[in-house]
Amino acid sequence: MLNRLARYEFSERLADLLGESRRDLRFRVTLMVTGGLVAPGPRGRGSPPATPQYAAQLLIGAMAAPQQAQTVEAIRCYEDLQPAAVAPGGNTPRVLFGPALATADGDEQPAAAIRLDGMRFGEALAQLLELACAEETRPIVAGELFGVWINRGCPVASLQFSAWWQGRRAVFSHTYGLAPGAAPPAWLDPQRGGLVDPGLFHSVFLPVRKLIEIGSLTTLSDDRRNPMLNKLGHKMAAIANMAKLAAKTPHGSRWEKLLSTLASVKAWSDQVDTQESRLREVSAFGSNPGELTMYTYLPASLPANAPLVVVLHGCTQSAASYNKGSGWSTVADRHGFALLFPQQQWNNNPLRCFNWFRPEDNERERGEAQSIAQMVDRMVAEYGIDRRRVFVTGTSSGGAMTSVMLASYPEVFAAGAVIAGVPYRTAKGLQEGLESIFQGRSRSGPEWGALVRAASPHQGPWPRLSVWHGDADTAVKPVNAEELIKQWADVHGLDSRPSVEMRVDGYPRRVWQGADGEELIESYTITGMSHGAALDPGPEPHQCGTAAPFFNAVGISSTHRIAEFWGLLAERPADARAPAAEAAADAQSRAGSPAQAADGTTGAAGPEPHSAGSASPGDRGEPLLRKEPAREAGNEHAEAADGAQAAGRQSMGLDVHGIISASLQAAGLLKPGSRPRSSAPLGIDVPGIISTALEAAGVLKGGAQRSSPFHAGRFSPETLRSAGWEGAGWDLLHDDPRAFRGGSMLYGHASSGDSGAVGARAQSISRRVTLGPRPELSYVRRLDLSAAVNDYTSASFRVLVDGIVVDEVTAIGMVHQENEWLRQSAVDLARFANRQVTLTLEVAAYANIYSTVYAKAWVDQVTISNAVEAAAHC
């Protein structure tokens, strides 16, 4: 048993987390002991440890009891609350996020891993704290639990879980109430002297992040005959079992850490898998001895004799999640080539890793390697793929499997790219595999090369190779990249020393050239990067992908650079132009003049993907809610900030974002030219995060950035219309201190159930916008949706385009409050491309009785990237 905190020490830490007095919590502990809830024990070294069961009782006492003296009675009452039964077809309180996603018939949503069926509230809360205490299950709690809610004015509590419901992300409330015949606490029972005090009887909410912090302070009991871990799905249980086995190996601690990280990767991958996928599953591609699943992606207009890229995911990832993270389908759309995504199955490997270390799967015409080769044959036969231009890449276990495919089927692949992988035949079996990734295996070049030459009857020419690895990778030791280079340098007959060394986007790149100067091997070392693939998320032609676990936004796109190394970017199909070039051409055609590139020539951009072309409205996020520029003296530097960044956000006086960016670059913490953008899909905008944090802390005031006097107020409806918005129930708040970064913001309010009016009530504003070929919407918001009257009342906020919901939050029988600004980035509007549309913001409320239900929304920085034309800005 790992002794973490004693009971009294735990009470002090709990007080800090809850924002309560330490003396208050210590006294409640004393009451629990004197009341017989917990056994007394000595203080100091012999003090009993704080177990999850003890923590659940103290947490209930702190949350449910309005006064200290009521602690013991509150614990006994709320701990015994029974789960409320939901009748078949009944309405469950819930909050829905986002529009419904189209799913194929028969698709099932993933089952929840946490199951608390039949447990009383106290027991269920203790089990959640136990899961939060264990490292291997903590990511499950973070991924599935939303929070804990307790009502002090009525013996009711709920556990709120995040799940998927009819293709939508949702938060469900599992409600607990008094058992039939049970009496409420004395302070709520008038027959026992209860006195209603409205000032005390409010509801208390504990978010999941705080519950996880509380659980991590507890101590697991030695008596775990029925651990909650056994109630989890087989996938997570398998991960936990592998952690127990690995603990006995020399690399047990590193393996356990990796498994804990993989649980987070799996949670994100599962979330992506529930969304609409761009990939299509293909069956009947051969005997499939490796029992893999085949997915494909084909651009809308695939040219004849197109290239093919085989993409292999990493452990706990899926084909769809790897595609979303890496952005391969985005690059395929731009440059016209086909994609093949082999996917591992859970029953083949408990972590869904490709079995690169097993001889039955890493040899020619055997197992998983043969299955992948059969998939390639199917693609070539069905789509007329150019056999001379078939490539393969992968990350982690997918990178190791890439080494397998290049060695065992070298005649199939023109080139490959291994990201955070290992050399071919570095291991035979799982134990050697662990040794290889955690410490590496050193062999001479000829020894490594002999393993490749013996894997097939092929005599050459050999595939070219791109190698990527982070030098801070603790999951797969970076020495594996050097051994991999040694292996293929020997196969190609090259010197061990590189022919050329340079820096690309701030990172070292080495090149090994053949006798004719052809680049046969390249290597990128991403300094400071941990395990995973290097990304540069964003809308630019050289950017793609989504930052996520094992997908690191470091300012360089491995996907784009690999495709460039393979020659896939040399020729661009006419209908696969980059978004910026396409929008510029559209804008120029309306003006009656041809599009002109940066070098003065007419037509497509130059060959250098990072060359700066002339900007057009389609290149940038078009702000529909614009801040007024400040007129401060000495602000010339802020007004002359980087053009690409200024195009995406309006100047608001002092360019704090630009100042922080310049400071970070001067300190070497941010690479020049990386141009972090807040509108990039899940990109990491470090300066934006810092400046927003300063504002939230009160160190930096949005209003203080403005030289004009502060006047908070509403614009008239006429002003709102002149800004391009029309409708009712919404206001344009001017110089409001609650605005995201000062200036103006939109505020909408709708209510039902008050003033003698029930039923559906909605308020909306709209404006017309002309969209380009690849439009995306982003905005920041704060919501207050109050619909906890009964299980049928609702409050919602929706964003619609031509009457179709593109983003939504709806609370049904629940309260949903966003106390901090939330940025919604990269809402895809591709279905409305190249046409004029109506963008609508709507708040709505529905009450079936005379009790107020309301929806309030504060919206700022409404931006549409690739918007060709919009109405007058506000």
Q: Which residues are catalytic?
A: 396
Distance CA 80, CA 72 (A): 12
8 A C-beta contact, residue 779 and residue 67: no
How many Cα neighbours within 13 Å face the side chain of 188?
Answer: 22
8 A C-beta contact, residue 441 and residue 394: no
Give the C-alpha distances (Å, rounded to integers) separating 467 from 462, 474, 485: 15, 17, 8
User: If you ran DSSP here, which 8-state letter would residue 630 be given?
Assistant: P
DSSP calls for 294-320: EEEE--TTPPTT--EEEEE--TT--HH
DSSP calls for 698-728: TSS-TGGG-SSPP--EEPPHHHHHHTT-EEE
Residues 6+ apart with CB under 8 A from 350: 235, 238, 239, 241, 242
Q: What is the dihedral of CA 787, 793, 798, 800, to 10 degrees?
A: -170
List the structure tokens of 159: 């556990």
Nearest in space to 794 (alpha carbons), one of 753, 840, 744: 753
Distance CA 536, CA 680 (A): 9
List the structure tokens of 441: 């295996």
How many Cα neighbours within 13 Å face the side chain of 680?
Answer: 28
Which parts of 46-175 fold into alpha helices (H)?
Answer: 52-64, 71-79, 121-133, 138-144
8 A C-beta contact, residue 59 and residue 14: yes
Burial (CB < 10 A; 0-12, 13-18, 19+), residue 526, is: buried
Q: Which amino acid is at 828?
A: D
8 A C-beta contact, residue 343 and residue 295: yes
